[in-house]
Amino acid sequence: MTVIQGYMSKTRMNGRLHGILYGSILAALAGCASMAPPYEQPAAPVPAQFRDAVPGTPDAAPVADLDWREVFVDERLRQVIALALRNNRDLRVAVLNIEKARATYQIQRASLLPTVAASGSHSAARTSAASSSTGTSVVSRSDSVSVGFSSWELDLFGRIRSLKDQALESWLATAETQRSTRMSLVAEVASDWLTAGAYQQRLVLAQQTLDSQRRTLELTRRKHAQGLSSGVDVASVESSVESARADVGSYATSLEQARNALELVVGAAVPDDLLPGAGDADAAVALAPLPEKLESRALLQRPDVLYAEHTLKAANANIGAARAAFFPTITLTASAGRASDSLSSLFDAGTRTWSFAPSISVPIFNAGSLQASLDSAKIATDIAVADYEKAIQTAFSEVADALAARAPRRTAGCPARAGRVHPAQLRAGRGALTQRRGQLPGNADRPALALQRAAEPDHPAPERGEQPRDALQGAWRRGRCRPIELRHGTARKKPHALPYAGPKDLPAARRWLSRTEAMTPVPLPSAHRRPRTAPIGSAGALHGDSNSATTCPAVALADMGFCPVTSRPSTTTFEANGSHAFS
């Protein structure tokens, strides 16, 4: 009895040792390295630093630490952006794509481990008396339970591990796509919000212009009734009133369209108290300082560059899977359990069962499909390298353009480049022009319209798709000053210059106007004009040349005898209806 017990104890110990040994071998086989080539980050095909970068700030925060809340300082705009982040459908789809990619990665990772399943069965069969050896019918029953796995592939050559790495990189690339979508959404919301504010301010200015023109028309009609002005004057002012009324309707329509576009991007109705008011848009954006010696390696933080890099890593992992396909595939099937002829004795002694069935498959002939798969994987990697380098070059070009456009804005060469005409100066200009209105023909009110348009903000409605995007990491920097655009009018040239219509020569001016077919803006007297460095009508004056003094709004206003007080920067566009007004 003692000998039998010792034998059974030794048998159990050997079984345990064999189990530990087999488990260690399987774990070692499952942990084999991938056959994918080592990943090497391609060298960036751009200079190490940006050429002629704008001077930075020593204590500026790193580019990666910049948050959109630091760029957009208006609390209403922040609330609208937060509302869009919760309701925008494109962002929801991007987030769901991340979850889908994560699930795909988990599927590939699970393939590294065996799928263990438990099973149980019960069977009963009756043998007829004719076929029974005993001559009597027999009913046989069988019960069994087992735990095991089937067709577990040993990843000896890293095929499954390479597929797992490819799924991981695809997951990370999808996450960068969501990050880029989120940044683009914030920028688009801010752009539409600023556009709505700009149209709101332009609508207010257009309404003020319409009210001013109506008062001018009433005054001109009174003068005409008293014989102090001609019918041409009345017709000219009536034309100005209709033009101002058309501007009001146009800006009202544009404002409504801008609000609709904003609500479409946000994905929900935007409360009226979160919409910008007239003149509120300029203070909504703060241009963040850049660190000193901005290096091009900061581009590697951009979502599009990171997406291209993860795509390259995924293609590199596919090479490992294609290489491993040339080698044998080993699969294991094993189970252990108990079997008995009755359920009551299923767990009695002597009912243990087990099975172990390894298999191997060696590729012999496949008509070159494995080699073609490897070649395709290598070509896909080369394409991914080119896409990665192209992404860096595109990012460098965008940043260089942004820095080149930002550099002149930091120079205070012109006080009016800050872009806004102070309201007091605007009122002073209107007052001065009102005093001269009784001395000049009706068209002399047009410089007041130009002066009013000079005070308009520069938030032009962007085309769909042309939204601000980050140059460095997707952060939202808004340009504050662009070159001044002067659009010259197309009035017909007159055979004679109109002399200054002062109080003493007003009848002569009326007689001259009665002989003309159309009206032209009246130049102010030379005594009220400041010297300019470029002649009227020169190329620099018409095209906004930086070397021409007429590109500065202060010079244009100085021509009328005003010195504007400016505040925040923005671009100002001067429109001239004639050859002398703000030329």
Residue 289 CB contacts under 8 Å (≥ 6 apart), including other chains: 56, 57, 60
| Each residue's pLDDT tens digit, 237-277 | 999 999 999 999 999 999 999 999 999 999 999 998 998 87
Q: What percent of the chain has pLDDT over 90?
A: 37
Helix (H) or strand (E) holding 27: helix 2-30
Question: Which whole-number Å values give the CA distances from 230 to 215, 234, 437, 442, 445, in the listed order?
Answer: 17, 7, 14, 10, 16
C-alpha atoms less than 13 angstroms from C-alpha of 384 in its C-beta half-sphere: 26
| Each residue's pLDDT tens digit, 334-365 | 999 888 877 777 888 888 889 999 999 999 99
**At what angle are helices 446-454 and 231-266 packed, to 10 degrees?**
20
State both tokens at 265: 């991007």
Residue range 91-118: mean pLDDT, rounded:
93
Distance between CA atoms of 478 and 465, rounded to whole angstroms? 16
Residue 115 CB contacts under 8 Å (≥ 6 apart), including other chains: 149, 150, 152
Residue range 391-399: mean pLDDT, rounded:
91
Question: Which whole-number Å values give the CA distances from 272 to 193, 401, 467, in the listed order?
Answer: 12, 36, 23
Distance between CA atoms of 247 and 490, rounded to whole angstroms? 19
Instruction: Supply φ then ψ for residue 279, to 5 degrees.
Output: 85, 5
Instruction: Supply φ then ψ for residue 374, to 5 degrees.
Output: -65, -45
- The DSSP output letter for 24 is H
In this structure, of 314-318, 321-325, 510-514, 569-573, the range with the lowest mean pLDDT score is: 569-573
Highest mean pLDDT: which range of 357-371, 428-442, 443-457: 357-371
Distance between CA atoms of 553 and 53, rounded to whole angstroms? 27
Indicate the residue type of 367.
Answer: A
Q: Give the chain's mean pLDDT.
A: 71
Helices (H), 88-158: 89-110
Distance between CA atoms of 55 and 357, rounded to whole angstroms? 71
Q: Supply the pLDDT for residue 575.
A: 34
Model confidence at 143, pLDDT cuts 50, 70, 90, reads confident
Q: Supply the pLDDT for residue 537.
A: 34
| Each residue's pLDDT tens digit, 503-527 | 444 555 455 445 443 344 444 343 3
Distance between CA atoms of 439 and 470, rounded to whole angstroms? 53
Q: Say if residue 480's pLDDT is above 60.
A: no
Q: Supply the pLDDT for residue 23.
A: 52
Model confidence at 138, pLDDT cuts 50, 70, 90, reads confident
State both tokens at 550: 């007429």
DSSP 456-516: S---PPPPTT-----SSSS----------EEE---PPPPSSPPPP--SSSHHHHHHHHHT-
Residue range 529-544: mean pLDDT, rounded:
36
Report which of residues 225 and 53 the model is more confident about: 225
Using CA atoms in the order 141, 145, 150, 155, what is the torsion angle rounded to 10 degrees? Answer: -160
| Each residue's pLDDT tens digit, 31-88 | 556 789 999 999 989 888 877 555 555 445 555 556 788 788 888 999 999 999 999 9
Distance between CA atoms of 257 and 264, rounded to whole angstroms? 11
Burial class, 225, CB count within 10 angstroms (exposed 0-12 / middle 13-18 / buried 19+): exposed
Burial class, 102, CB count within 10 angstroms (exposed 0-12 / middle 13-18 / buried 19+): middle
∠ CA 538-542-546 to the nearest 5 degrees?
90
Instruction: Supply φ then ψ for residue 484, to 5 degrees.
Output: -70, 135
Distance between CA atoms of 149 and 116, rounded to whole angstroms? 5
C-alpha atoms less than 13 angstroms from C-alpha of 337 in its C-beta half-sphere: 18
Residue range 265-290: mean pLDDT, rounded:
78
**At what angle are helices 303-324 and 369-406 packed, to 10 degrees?**
170
Burial class, 435, CB count within 10 angstroms (exposed 0-12 / middle 13-18 / buried 19+): exposed
In this structure, of 114-123, 225-234, 449-458, 519-528, the range with the lowest mean pLDDT score is: 519-528
Pairing mode of beta strands 573-575, 352-356? unpaired
68 in Cβ contact with 476 (< 8 Å): yes
